[in-house]
Amino acid sequence: MSKAAKVVASLKVEDLTERQARAEHKRLADEIARHDTLYHDKDDPEISDAEYDQLRQRLKAVEARFPQLVDMFSPTQKVAPTPTTAFAKVRHGRPMLSLDNAFTEEELQGFLDRVRRGLERETDLKPDAEIALSCEAKIDGLSISLRYEDGVFIQGATRGDGTTGEDVTANLKTIKDIPQKLKGKGVPKAFDVRGEVYMERKAFMELNARQVAAGEKAYVNPRNTAAGSLRQLDPEITASRPLRFFAYAWGEAEPRTWKTHSEYLTLLKEWGFKTNPLTRLCRTADEVRAFYRKIGTERPSLPYDIDGVVYKVDRIDWQERLGFVSRAPRWAIAHKFPAEQARTRLRDIVIQVGRTGALTPVADLEPVNVGGVMVSRATLHNADEIERLDVRVGDMVIVQRAGDVIPQVLGFVPEERPKKTHKYEFPTHCPCPLKTKVASEEGGVVRRCSGGLECPFQQVERLRHFVSRNCFDIEGLGGTHIENFFNDGLLKVPGDIFRLPKKAAEISKREGWGDLSVRNLVAAIEARRTVALDRLINAIGIPLIGEATAKLLAQEYGDVGTWLDEMLKAAKERRKQPDAVKKEKAAAEVGTSYGRLCNIEQIGVTTADAMCAFFAEGHTVDIIRDLLKELMVQPVERRVVAADALLKDKIVVFTGELSSMTRDAAKARAEELGAKVTDSVSKKTSLVVVGENAGSKARKAAELGVQTMTEEEWVKLAGG
């Protein structure tokens, strides 16, 4: 997403102009369509259900304020993406529509009020009359339609786009919960049974254990695995997967004898189907809310995943009176749970040691589905966070995926705390074999192993960082390989990576390594013997130095020899300035190596001190020099700025949407004029160019009194 699009996406719908709304509508529609394809066709979603629901909610809000944007292609007018061509197509006799969602008590009450108003308008319902709702747990699986004629199962299909699905009959016949011939009385001569194919959590975990044992990739979650299993071209693969089925609705039915939804569920069980036992007939709003809370409490202990509760008007004649709107029935709604949170048991607290020696406590959890992902570990951040949360081994804890990505523990459930639990005591020594003391940073919350690069845990993490994508990017040498090679003595320092080709014969004898994989690894290593200076700086693992700062350092020093010499000089100068006053004075002395380092844009004293401490360790320098014997480091082509350049030594920031040029083109032109272009505004910033929909950077420039100019003024200054 472009920065301009991000700005629009951050605005409230009521603050959008029509032009912005049109762009936002297109972005949301495209994004939803892409995620629909990933979810329905490839069974490989990138985001959680909660994130997907948020996209749809925002799209509906945009269309509500700008109804002229609604057209037949909008996701709000469709149920799902067009089915793929891997299976024969099946046209549903009656469309398989999806449900609208309620996420809050207010939205649920809105649904109940709409149902009552609609029935009062369409029937002789009295204002105080009872409206019974059939309430059932919403299974997180794959929607399926089963066709029966004369009581015999003849065809099964996926939902597809709601009108046309995929014929997966052969695969459905392998699922034991789906009867091939119905029993009992009153079976319609021809009818469709609608329901959900799913996989229980225990079966999913066992399947994943078999995958890992076989050296295969573990599956992400039960829903995706069930969907992928059902859409196999080989029915024998589907038969090997532990799939289940719950029936809960109907499509075409000739003749239909049941008068209520709850009566239909009873008939389904008599005919041989399994229905969800978590179903209840509620007659008041209070009963509905109580049922929702009850299911939410039981959710973590259920054998399968659910993501909400579905409410349906029980009387079918009332359903028919209420009818449908767009893609959903007016008589039903899905009341979603907050998908990013779940409850589970804390089995243990383990300590992980990072590449800089920081000790991070991690919660070892009983596996639980959080936002569509099975979570068994979650961060506890640091010792202070454990103290604040007061979580203890054995607690029932609440887990959330921060930003729907990183699992974290929010707290514990007091009423479910076991007896005789003990407060967690943070270790005073590193869990590494050296058992070195743990030191607390002055004024900070981070606790670090004092063993430095002698700590084997840190060594492994530094090596993992070294081969990662933004560093040396050595394909085929993943984290597990790094750890195994390290433990077996094949790797100790980065230079050893480039000596692995000499050990190819030895590696090929290891489990999981064949001649082809070894040849590929050797080729990948040899391809990285020539490396850009900024990648080298980033890969070494200097504290506080990331990809962007590494590029600034490379541009400043130009070649690896100059950079290393200057770092060593700066470290030596820093040792001679022990107190804060002298340190600040030294930082101002641009003529010194330490002063030069401190005055690089976006470096500063804190980062410079971290670098100096790193290079003050003799074994660190030895490791770098050993590595350089194996490499060819490319020097940086440094910009030459004319003495009379218009923006020489100026620091320029661009913010907002530019209409006459791309952001990259604007930056390139500023650099041609001698400027340094950065992404953040500070007191050192000389100029901020403000485009349309500018955000916090423009506000900060105003607060700091930094000069700003419009895009038109910039174009004029830059020469058109």
The residues annotated with a catalytic role in the active site are 138
CB 248 within 8 A of CB 103: no
Strands (E) in 441-562, as ranges, are: 447-449, 530-532
Q: Read out DSSP for 546-600?
A: -HHHHHHHHHHH-SHHHHHHHHHHHHHHHHT--SHHHHHHHHH-TTSHHHHHHTS
Find the length of the chain: 720
- Whether residue 408 contacts residue 386, with contact meaning beta carbons closer than 8 Å, is answered with no
Q: Which residues pair with 369 in a beta bridge?
A: 374
What's the rounded Cα separation, in Å, for the pair 264 and 274? Answer: 12
Distance CA 590, CA 603 (A): 13
Q: Which of 262, 310, 337 has its CA nearest to residue 49?
A: 337
For residue 244, report the phi and psi dihedrals to the nearest 5 degrees. -125, 170
Give the distance from CA 491 to its chain's centroid.
Answer: 32
| Non-local CB neighbours of 89 within 8 Å, separated by 6+ positions | 83, 160, 164, 165, 166, 167
Q: CB-based contacts of 529: which residues, under 8 Å, 6+ apart?
A: 498, 630, 631, 632
Question: What is the Cα Rg of the chain in Å?
Answer: 31
Other Cβ atoms closer than 10 A to 576: 9
**636 DSSP assignment:** P
Q: What is the 3-state secondary structure (H, E, C) of 397-454?
A: EEEEEECCCEEEEEEECHHHCCCCCCCCCCCCECCCCCCCEEEECCCCCCEEECCHHH
Q: Are strands 396-402 and 341-353 parallel, antiparallel or unpaired?
A: antiparallel
Cα-to-chain-centroid distance, residue 599: 37
Give 9-61 as a DSSP string: HHS-GGG--HHHHHHHHHHHHHHHHHHHIIIIISS--SS-HHHHHHHHHHHHH
The CA-to-CA distance between both ends of the chain, in Å, stands at 27
The owner of tokens 């869990």 is 431
3-state secondary structure 141-183: CEEEEEEEECCEEEEEEECCCCCEEEECHHHHCCCCCCCCECC
For residue 385, with 0-12 CB atoms within 10 Å meaning exposed, 13-18 middle and 19 or more buried, which class applies?
A: middle
CB 681 within 8 Å of CB 706: yes
What DSSP element (H or E) covers 507? Answer: helix 504-508
Report the distance separating Cα 451 and Cα 606, nearest Å. 22
Q: Which positions ≥6 away from 672 have C-beta within 8 Å?
A: none
Secondary structure class of 488 (helix, strand, coil): coil
Which DSSP state fits 304?
Answer: S
Run of H or E residues at 633: strand 632-634
